[in-house]
Amino acid sequence: MIDTIAVISGKGGTGKSSLTRAFFELQNGAYAADCDVDGANLFIGIDHTVIDSEDFIAGFDYSINPDLCTQCGRCVELCRFNAIDNFTINSFLCEGCNVCYYACPVDAVNKIDKKCGVIHHAKSTTGSFVYGRLGTGEENSGKMVTRVRELAKAGAEASGASLLILDGPPGVGCPVIAAVTATTGVVIVTEPTCSGISDMKRAVELVLRMHIKISIVINRSDINTDLCNQIERYVLEKGLFFAGRIGYSPLFNKAQRNRCAVTGFTDSSAAREVKDVWSAVCRDLLDNKK
């Protein structure tokens, strides 16, 4: 089974995707997947070509056929979400409970598969990757993350990839659980702010309950040295791995605009720090196998 590393953060904006992009560049023969389907952005920083796409189907859309409907009112009576008005189903209020579909005595309620987003397979000079983009306002992001992982794992194994790297969602909700489940290790990117530390701790507690190894990275470490020290003490107390600190650098933004990894700026401190962090992650989470 191919080793899988998930890169997550307790909160958005910590630089998780920029680091995932750099790790993807540094790991020769890696395969990647953007599991942040609510706000996928890994593909923005990679000059790529989409080679295949598939619709993500989840749940159903419902409608009432006026030619069959007798307006008996049974569906209106049973709908707990007040989604049926004048024998028309409001898709924004409908929760897909199927009551109207099964209760209609004349089978006037139609049920069709619902397209909630699109998953793309792409290739680039860095390597192949998969990313999913959930439709605006759509649900089932956890289910979509699972599908993205399935496709990425199949692609990685078929190509003989050395490692699968996942750019995970922020937070600690269902999409994050779907992204980190059954991974080899998890990299949690944090920042030395009060909110960054609080959200990092929530992410740590989630992953620890899943018995997965954790490595902590502090991004923008020069914002607050005292809080960096506090994070390192927490890592030590929890028995986690610490991959290192990365200082603030405008080169991360420049790299994204140029659709490249920050490690491409070889003479910069940012590139050196990211390389050191990746070496520590491989040592601690992958047992020096990479």
The predicted-structure confidence for 106-133, as pLDDT tens digits, reads as follows 999 999 999 999 999 999 999 999 999 9
Query: Within 10 A of 74 (CB to CB), how many other CB atoms are there?
Result: 15
The enclosing H or E element of 210 equals none
> Any idea which of 19-23, 24-28, 74-78, 134-138 has the lowest mean pLDDT?
134-138
Q: State how far the alpha carbon of 117 is from the alpha carbons of 21, 58, 149, in Å.
A: 23, 9, 15
88, β-bridge pairs: 85
pTM over 0.75: yes
Span 4-56+116-285 CATH architecture? 3-Layer(aba) Sandwich (3.40)
Q: What is the pLDDT of residues 239-288, one digit of tens each?
A: 999 999 999 999 999 999 999 999 999 999 999 999 999 999 999 999 75
Q: Is there a shared CATH topology between the 4-56+116-285 domain and the 66-107 domain? A: no
Residue 23's pLDDT is 97
**Total count of residues recorded for the chain:** 290
Residue 155's pLDDT is 96
In angstroms, the CA 147 to CA 121 distance is 12
In angstroms, the CA 160 to CA 22 distance is 21
Q: What is the pLDDT of residues 132-176, one digit of tens each?
A: 999 887 877 899 999 999 999 999 999 999 899 999 999 999 999
| CA atoms lying within 13 Å on the CB side of residue 29 | 10
Domain range annotation of the chain: 4-56+116-285, 66-107
**pLDDT class of 10 with cuts at 50, 70, 90:** confident
Question: Which CATH topology does 66-107 take?
Answer: Alpha-Beta Plaits (3.30.70)
Question: In the predicted model, is pLDDT for residue 92 greater than 90?
Answer: no
Query: Within 10 A of 146 (CB to CB), how many other CB atoms are there?
Result: 18
